[in-house]
Every structure is written in C-alpha cells, then in structure tokens.
Structure 1
C-alpha cells in the first residue's frame, strides 16, 4: 500500500491547482469528441456524399486547423491565453452545431473549414497555459497526465459515440458542442489569465514581424519541428494506410477497430508509469529510442497477415509513442521563449496539421507505385534515420534550453487582474528565478 501511495504521490502529487482544472477540461472535452471519430461515416452513410466529397470535407478541416494554430498562437501571445481559448471554444461549439445542421455540400465544407480553424486555434493557447502554470521541474509529469487524459477521453468517446449515433447523428454534434462549452467555462472561471510580460524585450519581440523573424532564425527549434513533422508523417499512417493494409489481408473494419483500440488501452494503462521510467535520462536518447521503436513497429507491418500480428505491431509503435510524447512536450516548453510561447506552440502544432494532410497522400503514392512492403519498410528506415538525427541534434537543443533558463528574467503580471495568478505562480515556482520555457 505504501508503494502504491508513493507511486501516486510521485505521479500526481504537488501539481498546481490550476493544472488540475486544465486537466479536467481536457478530459471533458475529449469525452465528447464524437464528431471527428464518426465524421467520415456520417458524411458517406448518413448524408450520402461520395468518398471523394467526404475526403474534401475532412481535408478542409485540416486546412482550417493549419490556419487556426497559426492565428491562435499569435493571439495567445498578444491577446492572452484566456480570451483566445474562450473565443476558440465558443466558435468551435457554434460551428459544431452549424456543421450538424448543414445540408448542401458547400455549407458542410465551409462548416468543416471554420470548425477546424476554431478547434485548433485553442491548441497553442492551451499548451502555453499549461507551461505557464506548471513549474519546469513538474512538467514531465504534468504533460504525461494530460496525455493520459486525452487518450482516456478519446477511447471512451469512440465507444459512447457509437451509442449516440444510434439515437441520431445530430446528437453527436450537440454533445460535442456541450462538452466544448463546459471546457471553456472551467478554464474561464477557474484558471484565469496566465500570460505574463517580461519587460521591454518582450514587448519588442511580441511584434508580429519581430516574432516571425525570431522563429524563422531559430534553427534549433525549426530543426526539432522538422523532426516532429517526419515523426507525425510516420505515426499518422495508422489512420490512412493501416486500415487499407488490413483490408488487403482480408480483415474487416471491425477487426481494424479492435486492433487500433489496443493503442488507447496501452496508453491508458501504462502512460502514468512513463515519467518515472525516463526521469533523469537524456531526452535525446529517449527521443531517439522512441522514434526507433516506432519505426520498427510500423516496419513489421510489412510482414503482418493476421489480426494478432497487426496487434503486435500496434503495441510496439504505441510504446514508441508513449516515450515520445512527454519528452517532446517538455522540450518544446524549454525551447520556447516566454514572450513567444503561444506562437512557438502554434508552429509546433502546425507540423501536425501539415502531416495530417500529407501523410495519407505520401503513403498512398508510395504504396501505389512501390508496393505495400516498401511503404512499411520505408517507415522503419525513416524511424532509424530520425533516431540518429535526435542523437546528433540533442546536445545543441539542451544547450539552447540551458541558455534560455540562464537569461530568464523575473516575470510580472500583465494586468492588475492577474495578480492572484502571479502570486500563485510565484508560490509554486522554484526558489531561484528560472524561465518557464
């Protein structure tokens, strides 16, 4: 019992109260994330659109997401985290209902575009807020817990959405909109604004042109984002090419659903043990191992023919995903200057949006012209090359993170209204002034 209590204390103890409000908002939001799970089925079976028309709508969702992360990151730095999140969530809830009620193809396409923009605009602000409220020493645990909540909520949503769809697809959109609004209320009433300014340097660098120059000249950060783009291109093959490969093996869509569910189950069961496993280890080595394991998992798909073998490949690349996520998140936090935290989060999120659009296209082209085996073995090669790249670029990233910590300046609240939040942040911060980036 003492061991269990000690593990729980090491995993979840001592985190700021405002983190738990953000965590609760994440879980509630993901529990209601019905629409994206069933959107393709809704468009083709319920609305009678063709596969190409459904692909267009989902693609426009991705285009809107790319725009949303860019705008949301800028607003999070200039306008504030809380107003950006509130606007994004209100807009997403409104467009969720509009999409459910839309009938002509043009209206559905426009609704998906705007929904993607509003939904993804919240992501950089939420990420920046998470970094703002959690001290650096606790971020590995905090990001792991948040990632666990995302996967728990999404796994439950996939099951609940099936029951909700039986009562009518409109209910999916209504419930999704309600949970989005509940999340907005929690953040707006319980978390408050967390953005803080750091003096003349921050005000100067917050100008759009200056911020863009800073990001574009940050080769270490952009190199890391590029590596994440390739990791996302590799990982997202499980959505596009994996179901096709399983279909070629004579396996049903239901079997694919059961196999891919292993991903969420393993994360929910094991993710909370990851921080203790990797604590104190070189992040570059952890990321290198994560990408190598992920590549091996996808590479083994080339030899899979049965459901159990496909399940084994999913378990392997899920282990890579579990190692990658918290290390990725903490490193991005430390590479982001405090005054540009939202925009750095936006650029990082943009790599996922680009991969979401490009992964099925590239995977399909490789599969069509070079074959299924080449596609999956190519994934293994990409994973190995990325592992080497992490080992080579890791020392420079850690030096940059250490430099940002050394030059950090004490922060002050942006407005008098933020004084209570600043006081709480000071109370939970390390004894010596350390930049929260």
Structure 2
C-alpha cells in the first residue's frame, strides 16, 4: 500500500495530526476520537440489537425440536426468512430516505419485537412461516437506515473510525448472541424469542429517546445524483444505473462470496479431511476473537493509505487465506489460514463501508445502502450453491479457483480506485454545507473542534 497524502475529502493536516498525551490516549483518539454523541447512541443501539438478535439463529432447531416440523419444511421457513431479508433491505432504504432514519429505525424495531412475541406464542406452522417472512423484512430494514444516519452525523474524515467501530460492535454483539442463544435454547425456546423481543424493544427505546432525525428537508431536496435524468425523479434506479457504484458493489459481492466460504464450504472441506464439528468451531471462534481483540487497532494502520490500496490488500489476503486450504489437511493449518483471511476481513470493513457512503448522493444515501446490502444475501445463496458443486467436482482445486477470483478482485480495486476517487470528489463538490440545525441536534457545531468521547 502506498501512502496517500491529502486523500480525497481528508485535509492533509488532519491526516498527520497526532493528539498530545501518552500512547494509550493517542490510541483512543485514533480509534474513537471526534465522533458525535448521536453516533454513540446509534452504536449502542446496534450493539444491543446484535447481542439480543439470536432467536432466528435457532429457528431451524426450534421448528424441528419444538414444533415437529420436518427438515425440509424447516428449510423452507428459514428460506422465507432470508427472502424477507432481501425485500426488507430495499424497503428500509426507500423509507429511510423518504420517511427518515429515526422513524424507520424505531418502527422496524417495534414491529420486529411484536413479531417475535407472536412467534413465541404461535404453534401453527403456517403462521410461523408467515411470521418468519415478516421478521426477515423487519430485521433487515434497519441496516440502510443505521449506516445512512452515521454518514449524516459523522464528518467525512472520521467515518473510517465510525465504520470500524460499527463492524466491531456487530461482531461483538454476534459473539454475545451466540453464547446467550445456546444457554437460552437449552432452557426454553419461548424464552429465546421473548428475550430477543425485549432487546429489540430496548434498541427502539434508546433510538427514540436519544437519536434525533438526521434527515432534514434541506438534505432531502439537495444535490440530485450525478448523471440522473432531469425528467425522472432519482430513486433506486439511480443506484442501479450508477456505473462507479455498481462496479464497487460487484467487487463487494466477490468479497462477500470469499468470506462466505468460511461458513458454507469450509466445513465440508474439513469433514473431508477427517476434522469434526469441534475443529470447525475452533476455527470460527478464532476468527471472532481476532476481530473482537484486533479490530480497534485497524484505523491507525489504514488511515493514511488510499482506500483502493487497502481493499486491494485485504481482498488479496482473503484470496491467499482461502487459497491455502488447497493444501490444508490438519487443524493447525486451518487455524493459520483463518488468521490470514480474518486480517483481510478486518482491513476491508472500514474502507468498504466508507466508499459505499462516499459514492451515495446525500438525497439517496439509504437507497444506495440498500442496494449495497443486497450483495450479502446474494452471496449467501451463490457461495454454497456453486461452491458445493465446485468442491464436489474439483476437490481441493476449488480453493485455487477462489484464490484466483480474489486476486482478480484485488487487481480490479486498484484499477477502479482513481476513477472512483474522482467520482467521490465530484459528488462532494455538489454537497451542501453541514446544516447548523442538524449539528445542534447532535450536540456538535461544525465550527467546533473534534473531541474525544
């Protein structure tokens, strides 16, 4: 990675500034400094939501163990939840841009809590399937609104830190959820859904109490998308026909396909090598521990480098990590490969989210987020479908194909970087100045210096 001085949207002086104080204070500032109070309330809501969002992880077990459903029927119901998620992402993006970030977040969480209570009390499999579909919709709706609200309130040169902390909170919450879910499922599946509903209600209450609406009328009417047709109102079609954005979405889809290998195809490869579920659990646990312990150190490593270079390196690390499985045959080798691809995932998270935010016109931020988030359900379908066929047909050479795909994507990031930066600069010139009323709402005026919270 070559050093970038004066990266687009980041004043050079701010790139090199180092706060006074000891190493610990400098690390805290680099990791979490200059972020407004509203971001921290959003961050806390995300953490609470993820830590409590565990009921659907055990949906298939609940259906087969407590409701006497067949494995085939359980698969259909879980599939309905996934289909609802794809629809919910798009619906959440449209509502967050039209209705507002806060309103969308509060409404989605309140409806989800009610649906969880209904799931806990329902016994008819048809009703449960319908509720699972609706939960899929409402579970996915907050994702674009969360990110759009963060972009609204966090200054551009601090967004890398914000997205790094968001990724960390998401993984920490999922780790907590996995532990709590196992304990609750042993005691009562009904309690699993009810505690999930309570955590979702707590998130809704926190957002309703502490998070102001970050989408102002001025922002809604400001700066149409670059290249949008004057005769047609900008909308989802604008994102879908945005060449720079869709190239980036395509590369993110490749990254998602790579990361999905760990949860879909790798367990099959480990079983073929004579390694049981406990070995797979150790590999997954190692990845989670690395992210929880190491993600907070990522900003200092990447802040002064071009985002395209960071993404090129991170995608190459994913390619090397999974490609190494072509010669893996014991647990230590799998653990070593896991370290490589997890570092790649950690490096990719902040610039990936920041570029996604930078490419979105202010009036369409949540819609762009919704299109971006579609890459993950798409990858979760394609990775196991094609990956299983590939592993069966070509064996360990499957991992060499994955490595080649990742290395091609890494090169594409480097090639697309300069054009992408020019597009971001063009969009930024069209953006309005920060609205003083919004700055006051989040407790931070644009003229005030950044402070550590």
Q: For residue 222 of structure 1, what is the aligned residue in structure 2?
A: 246
Counterpart CA distance in 2 for 1:155 and 1:316 is 20
The answer to whether 1:255 aligns with 2:275 is no
The answer to whether 1:302 aligns with 2:326 is yes
The answer to whether 1:232 aligns with 2:256 is yes
Give the one of 406, 409, 431 matched to 1:408.
Answer: 431
Give the one of 300, 322, 335 matched to 1:276.
Answer: 300
**Which string of whole-angstrom CA distances, capped at 9 and with x for unpartnered residues, describes residues 188-220 of structure 1?**
110110002347954977999532342233100
Question: Secondary structure at the residue paired with 1:210?
Answer: coil
Question: Secondary structure at the residue paired with 1:156?
Answer: helix
Give the one of 321, 337, 340 matched to 1:316.
Answer: 340
Q: For residue 125 of structure 1, what is the aligned residue in structure 2?
A: 145
Equivalenced residues, count: 425
Q: For residue 158 of structure 2, what is the aligned residue in structure 1?
A: 138
User: Residue 208 and residue 21 in structure 1: after superposition, are their counterparts in 2 closer, same or farther (change >3 A)?
Assistant: farther
The answer to whether 1:398 aligns with 2:416 is no
Q: For residue 173 of structure 1, what is the aligned residue in structure 2?
A: 193
* Contact preservation (8 Å) 1:133, 1:425: yes
Q: For residue 153 of structure 1, what is the aligned residue in structure 2?
A: 173
TM-score (norm 1): 0.91
Question: Secondary structure at the residue paired with 2:123?
Answer: coil
Question: Secondary structure at the residue paired with 1:250?
Answer: coil
Counterpart CA distance in 1 for 2:127 and 2:305 is 51
Report the CA distance between 1:87 and its aligned residue: 1.2
Counterpart CA distance in 1 for 2:252 and 2:144 is 16
The aligned runs of 1:44-193 (5 Å cut-off) are: 44-193=64-213
Q: For residue 416 of structure 1, what is the aligned residue in structure 2?
A: none
Counterpart CA distance in 1 for 2:377 and 2:120 is 23
Counterpart CA distance in 1 for 2:277 and 2:124 is 29
* Contact preservation (8 Å) 1:260, 1:311: no
Larger mean Cα displacement after TM superposition, 303-312 or 323-332: 303-312
Report the CA distance between 1:341 and its aligned residue: 0.6
Counterpart CA distance in 2 for 1:384 and 1:107 is 46
Q: For residue 14 of structure 2, what is the aligned residue in structure 1?
A: none
* Contact preservation (8 Å) 1:241, 1:364: yes
**RMSD between aligned residues:** 2.3
Counterpart CA distance in 1 for 2:288 and 2:122 is 32
- Which runs of 5 or more residues in structure 2 are unaligned? 1-20
User: Residue 272 and residue 341 in structure 1: after superposition, are their counterparts in 2 closer, same or farther (change >3 A)?
Assistant: same
* Contact preservation (8 Å) 1:165, 1:172: yes
**Which string of whole-angstrom CA distances, capped at 9 and with x for unpartnered residues, describes residues 55-109 of structure 1?**
2222211110110011110000111111111111112112222233333332222
Give the one of 399, 402, 427 matched to 1:379.
Answer: 402
TM-score (norm 2): 0.88
* Contact preservation (8 Å) 1:73, 1:125: yes
Question: Secondary structure at the residue paired with 1:409?
Answer: coil
**Which string of whole-angstrom CA distances, capped at 9 and with x for unpartnered residues, describes residues 243-296 of structure 1?**
222222222223222220111100011001100000110111110111110111
* Contact preservation (8 Å) 1:202, 1:339: yes
Q: For residue 287 of structure 1, what is the aligned residue in structure 2?
A: 311
Question: Secondary structure at the residue paired with 2:396?
Answer: helix
The 4+ residue runs of structure 1 with deviation greater than 4 A are: 203-209
Counterpart CA distance in 1 for 2:49 and 2:234 is 34
**Which string of whole-angstrom CA distances, capped at 9 and with x for unpartnered residues, describes residues 299-353 of structure 1?**
1222222222222222111111001110101111111111111101111111112
Q: For residue 211 of structure 1, what is the aligned residue in structure 2?
A: 235
User: Residue 208 and residue 127 in structure 1: after superposition, are their counterparts in 2 closer, same or farther (change >3 A)?
Assistant: farther
Counterpart CA distance in 2 for 1:140 and 1:163 is 35
Question: Secondary structure at the residue paired with 2:265?
Answer: helix
Counterpart CA distance in 1 for 2:368 and 2:304 is 25
Counterpart CA distance in 2 for 1:398 and 1:203 is 18
User: Residue 273 and residue 208 in structure 1: after superposition, are their counterparts in 2 closer, same or farther (change >3 A)?
Assistant: farther
Which of the two has greater helix per residue?
1
